[in-house]
Every structure is written in structure tokens, then in C-alpha cells.
Amino acid sequence: MPFANIDGQPLHYLDQGRGPVVVLGGSYLWDHAMWAPQIEALSRHFRIIAPDLWGHGQSGRLPEGMSSLDDLARQMTELMDYLSIDCFSLVGLSVGGMWGARLALAAPKRVQALVLMDTYVGVEPEPTRQYYFSLFDKIEANGSIPEPLLDIIVPIFFRPGIDPQSPLYQQFRATLAALPTDRLRDSIVPLGRIIFGRDDILPRLRELDPRRTRVMCGDQDKPRPPSESQEMAELIRCPHILIPDAGHISNLENPAAVTTALLEFLGN
């Protein structure tokens, strides 16, 4: 697996397939492997670049001085420069969509197509911002994610009614439980505060090209409900696609529907 040195830290990424480039930006608390079903299908037609967030997967710790999602968008642009990739499509889920929209706005000639999935580029509503920050405080003080917090955090990512004994659910829970103290305190918690303390770029969505943009959302997404996706799609004036039987990580809860929608849009 390759690495790029960005802002003094090793950024890990998957590079698979040939053809037009598609960048997959994943969710907070997940690494690039969350895209496994899409990578398998899309890499038959495209060159897939799937980076790990700082402190996630095999990437290094959060770089010194990083303070905003604009920094993350710039770092991902620098990854494309490192790979000598001028133009690419970008599919961003959750925080991947948050930095992905910023990258597309900053470099509109480079981003040929943009898919915003299960994401929101407005400010975090104040009650949920305070709630998430209280969770970060507890994780930071504890140096781990204890069982009671796992019981709160893990279900957020899935549709209501998912079998908690399913492999998808249990693997994610085990991954969070195993996170080491230094990674939590140095990278994951501070990155979480950046994500949920973000500024509002909703007014800038009108600058995006509606013909080259899609907004998608799991129909049962709890942290990023379909009403937020609908609001963004209306501002962009682009299609809004609901993924049936899916929560926040819609690409894993209904991989067939997501992959089909991506292949249809990116293929055109």
C-alpha cells in the first residue's frame, strides 16, 4: 500500500484499477476498506484512489497546526498533485463529502464529477455539536472508547433495526474498541472536533455545476437525515437519490444500490 508525505505525515491510500480517476473519501471512524464493494466494481472501469483519514487505517497522526476541513481539502488536493493526477471524479461520504465539496469549490476545473453521500456542509446543529463534543471529552479523558460509549456510538452509523450480531456491526464495534490511546487523543478526537465544529458553506453550493453533481443519502440515515441531503440538492439544483434500507454507511448497508448509482453517473 502506498503513502504520500503530506504536511509532514504519511497519508496512506489505496490505488487500484485503470482508467479515469475516481477518488473515494470515506467516513469518520472508518478506513478505505469501507469502500470494498465499490472498489471491486468501479476498479474494473476506473482508477480508484481511496485515502485513509489521519489517524485512521495506516495513515499517520493529524498534522501539526491542522484546524479545519479546508486543510483536509488542501491535503487531498496535494495527494492528487503527488500522484500527478490533474482531473478526477470525487465520491465523498460523511466527512468525505464535507471536504470533497470544499475541494470541488476550490478546484472546479479539476473535479469532473462530484457525489455527496450521507453528508452535510452546513454547520452542525448546536445540540448535536454539544453532544458529540461531550463524547469526545469522555473518550479523551478515558483514553479509550469504553463499552457504554460503544453502545452509543456504533448504532449511529447504521439503520434502525440492524442486527447487532451481524458481521458488519460487530467488526466496526471491535475496530473502535481496539483503537489505541495515542491515536484517539492525537488524531481521532481532534479530527472529530474539526468535523463537528465546521463552518457553513451551504451558500456556496450554488457555485457547483448541477449537471456534474449528485447528492445521495440512506433513507434511514440518523446523523445526516435525508432532509439535509434534500436541502443541499435543492441549493445545487441537482438530483437527490435516496438509498433504500440504508443508514449512514449506505454504501455498505445497500452496496448494490450505491454501486449501480455510481456506475451510472460516473459512466456518463
Q: Is 204 exposed, middle or buried (CB count within 10 Å of its CB: 0-12, 13-18, 19+)? A: middle
Instruction: Please check whether residue 182 lies inside any domain of the structure.
Output: no
178 located within any domain: no
pLDDT of 140 strictly over 90 = yes
3-state secondary structure 25-85: ECCCCCCHHHHHHHHHHHCCCCEEEEECCCCCCCCCCCCCCCCCHHHHHHHHHHHHHHCCC
Pairing mode, strands 9-16 and 3-6: antiparallel
What's the pLDDT at 205? Answer: 98
Q: Predicted confidence band at 135 (pLDDT cuts at 50, 70, 90)?
A: very high
pTM over 0.85: yes
In a domain, 240, yes or no: yes
Specify whether the CB–CB gap between 156 and 248 falls below 8 A.
yes
16: pLDDT strictly greater than 90 = yes
Average pLDDT over residues 224-237: 98
- Give percent of the chain above pLDDT 70: 100
Confidence of residue 204 (pLDDT cuts 50, 70, 90): very high
Q: How confident is the model at residue 113 (pLDDT cuts 50, 70, 90)?
A: very high
Domain membership flag for residue 16: yes
Residue of 239, 258, 212 whose CA lies nearest to 230:
239
Identify the CATH number of the domain in which residue 31 sits. 3.40.50.1820
Q: Does 38 fall in a domain?
A: yes
**Residue 166 φ then ψ, to 5°:** -65, 150
37: containing domain: 3-122+200-267
Query: Does residue 151 lie in a domain region?
Result: no
pLDDT on residue 1 = 67
Question: Looking at the domain assignment, is residue 153 inside a domain?
Answer: no
Whose cell is 509532514? That residue is 8
* Residue 139: inside a domain: no
| Mean pLDDT, residues 137-158 | 97
Residue 168 and residue 247 in contact, taking contact as beta carbons nearer than 8 Å: no
Average pLDDT over residues 5-27: 98
Q: What would the pLDDT profile of 75-96 be if each residue is shown by its tens digit?
A: 999 999 999 999 999 999 999 9
What value does the mean pLDDT take over residues 238-265?
98
Residue 193, C-alpha cell as written in the block: 472536533
pLDDT computed for residue 268 by the predictor: 86
Residue 223 reports pLDDT greater than 70: yes
Split into its structural domains, the chain has a count of 1
DSSP letter for 86, please: -
pLDDT average, residue stretch 16-35: 98
